[in-house]
Amino acid sequence: MDQFTLNLIVVGATFALYIGIAIWARAGSTSEFYAAGRGVHPIVNGMATGADWMSAASFISMAGIISFGGYNTSAYLMGWTGGYVLLAMLIAPYLRKFGKFTVPEFIGDRFYSQTARTVAVICLIVASLTYVIGQMTGVGVAFSRFLEVDKTTGLLIGAAIVFFYAVIGGMKGITYTQVAQYVVLITAYTIPAIFISLKLTGNPVPPLGLFADAKSTGLPLLETLNGMLADLGFAEYTKQSDTTLNMFLFTVSLMIGTAGLPHVIVRFFTVPTVADARSSAGWALVFIALLYLTAPAVAAMARVNLIDTFYPNGTTSEAVSLEAIENDANLDWVRNWEQTGLLGFEDKNGDGFIQYNGSADNELTVNRDIITLANPEIANLPGWVIALVAAGGLAAALSTAAGLLMAISSAVSHDLIKSQINPSISEKGELLSARIAMGVAILVATYLGMNPPGFAAQTVALAFGLAASSIFPALMMGIFSKRVNNKGAVAGMLAGLGVTVVYIFLHKGWFFIPGTASFDDSNPLLLSIKSTSFGAIGAAINFAVAYVVSNATDEPPVEIQELVESIRIPRGAGGAVDH
């Protein structure tokens, strides 16, 4: 059986599974659509949260970013993992105790203001749409290679699948679909990693293989990779080249952005009790760790395999020839990915060989987003492993896209339409408006996914910065401060989001201002702070503005201060408390 047919069968079978689950778990009420009826078991919710959390950025792009960025990009791992711990300990249990459906609903009630609720909706939509662009980018990359269609067609296919199971099933359907997607994606991620770790180091456990000796040199794998990169003129893999300030701010931005992501927070609204929210957070961390402990090994081993592909004789003076690329069956993957436009090579000096190095004479370009997907092909693993990775990549992208779209549609239907535009709307009407909002969000996300602002992980990092600067401070002050009032919360969210958006747009050259078009992550606007790191600065501005404005205006009403106190008190930890 040829590879394309195998890919089609495996991916098609997983899609059929997702659609079948969506039909089985169809939401019949707003409670089921928004919060799965609050009846999800903690372990099931932990697995669904893991799938929701491990997006295309984690599955497809993170290993690629680390593979080419080395030590500098390890901040992705530290920030995303640390941020989830922050979310699980400081935010999720308290919001579940509050007992509502959405993040803007909490902000609106806590800050006793429909304006605050509306601003929270705007912040949520901006961050979530930016995030979902990264997922759709991942969908396009996976489809363009494994189903041999162009990126746009792949995006449309992925959007249609998400539309069906998310609109039909709501949070209930998404939850059980994400459980299936987690099983698919973690299997698809770990099996190739085990094969490759055995091949390069003889150790079947990838995280341990990362620190084992390479078979080819007898030296530790990371030392071997450092030597290979140094010979080719690249920076050493384990060397820090970014500034400590930027790495610190980037890590903080990812951490607090994680804790402010609405699509992950709402997962904790689906369990029966506050105690279950804490339990499901612990289980989710276990499920997430299975991939996050493996990702650094996948990244390093993929870079070793890539270099070995283009220097098959183990010496940097003997690059692979164009003739070999055209005729060698072991290099089929190069030709396959070249057709997608995500890998390219050019014999600049006309010597018939493809030089891969860190100088201006480099003749190979590799999109970071293909590393995880191409890894099994580079390592010449069996066809079923390649097909499984394709299904896993799509599962990761689609699961998170569905969660984000759920957060967007809930904010529009519940926090805008039901709360402000038409309070008398029936439950059936609200459910219809939620589904229409999700459909519109899918169309917008698909359109924007056709022209993303960067690699999947980079685009997602921008979304984390937006969430960090707007939603996270409002949640933290709402839970832990009785003094912050509605005026302070609104001013803080607008200030944090506004300054972060302006910095990102200036940094990326998206404003028509002379000279800004050349700005990129290698040319920061302020000190060494890149656009992906600015969320931490935006958050600090949010906190400062909120406290200054709150202290200059009236205290919150007594009943609001009592509400804040009741949220923090662990009374009722064994049962849900609704206000």
Domains in the chain with CATH codes = 3-301+382-568 (1.20.1730.10)
Among residues of the chain, what percentage have pLDDT more than 70? 90
How much is the pLDDT for 81?
85
Phi then psi for residue 220, to 5 deg, are -55, 145
Are 98 and 381 contacting, i.e. CB atoms less than 8 angstroms apart? no
Any idea what DSSP says for residue 366?
E
Q: Other C-beta atoms within 10 Å of 90: how many? A: 15
| Amino acid of residue 116 | A
- Look up residue 399 and give its two tokens: 């699961």
Select from 484, 537, 29, 520 the least CA-distant residue to 252.
537
Are 70 and 235 contacting, i.e. CB atoms less than 8 angstroms apart? yes
Mean pLDDT for the stretch of residues 27-56? 76
Apex 218 CA angle, 213 and 224, nearest 5: 70
pLDDT of 308 > 70? The answer is yes
Q: Please count the residues of the chain.
A: 579
How much is the pLDDT for 518?
41
Q: Is 314 helix (H, G, I), strand (E, B) or coil?
A: coil
Are 189 and 392 contacting, i.e. CB atoms less than 8 angstroms apart? yes
- Enter the pTM of the model: 0.81
Q: Which helix (H) or strand (E) holds 343?
A: strand 343-345
**Phi-psi category of 233—alpha, beta or left, where left has phi over 0 and alpha has psi -120 to 50?**
left
| Amino acid of residue 4 | F
Mean pLDDT for the stretch of residues 484-488? 96
Apex 215 CA angle, 211 and 218, nearest 5: 75
- Look up residue 46 and give its two tokens: 């932990």
Mean pLDDT for the stretch of residues 211-238? 93
Between CA 251 and CA 522 the distance in angstroms is: 17
How much is the pLDDT for 453?
58
| Amino acid of residue 272 | P
Select from 100, 239, 267, 260 the least CA-distant residue to 176.
267
Mean residue pLDDT of the chain comes to 83
| CA 210 to each of CA 196, 331, 413: distance values in angstroms, whole numbers, following the listed order | 11, 25, 47
Q: Confidence class of residue 517 from pLDDT cuts 50, 70 and 90?
A: very low
| Amino acid of residue 113 | S
Residues 6+ apart with CB under 8 A from 248: none
Q: Is 529 helix (H, G, I), strand (E, B) or coil?
A: strand
Asked whether the CA dihedral 454, 458, 460, 461 is positive or negative, the reply is: negative
How much is the pLDDT for 424?
86
Between CA 249 and CA 254 the distance in angstroms is: 9
How much is the pLDDT for 513?
44
Are 195 and 186 contacting, i.e. CB atoms less than 8 angstroms apart? no
Which of 35-49, 242-256, 389-403: highest mean pLDDT? 242-256
- Look up residue 546 and give its two tokens: 């909120």
How much is the pLDDT for 219?
94
**Phi-psi category of 350—alpha, beta or left, where left has phi over 0 and alpha has psi -120 to 50?**
left
Phi then psi for residue 548, to 5 deg, are -65, -50
Any idea what DSSP says for residue 255?
H
pLDDT of 547 > 90? The answer is yes
Any idea what DSSP says for residue 321?
B
Q: Confidence class of residue 28 from pLDDT cuts 50, 70 and 90?
A: low
Q: Other C-beta atoms within 10 Å of 565: how many? A: 10
Are 466 and 127 contacting, i.e. CB atoms less than 8 angstroms apart? yes
- Look up residue 275 and give its two tokens: 């105690």
Q: Confidence class of residue 16 from pLDDT cuts 50, 70 and 90?
A: confident
How much is the pLDDT for 514?
42
pLDDT of 20 > 60? The answer is yes
Are 22 and 164 contacting, i.e. CB atoms less than 8 angstroms apart? yes
Q: pLDDT tens across 225-264, in order?
A: 999 999 999 999 999 988 899 899 999 998 998 888 777 7
Q: pLDDT tens across 160-171, in order?
A: 877 776 676 667
How much is the pLDDT for 553?
95
Apex 134 CA angle, 131 and 135, nearest 5: 95
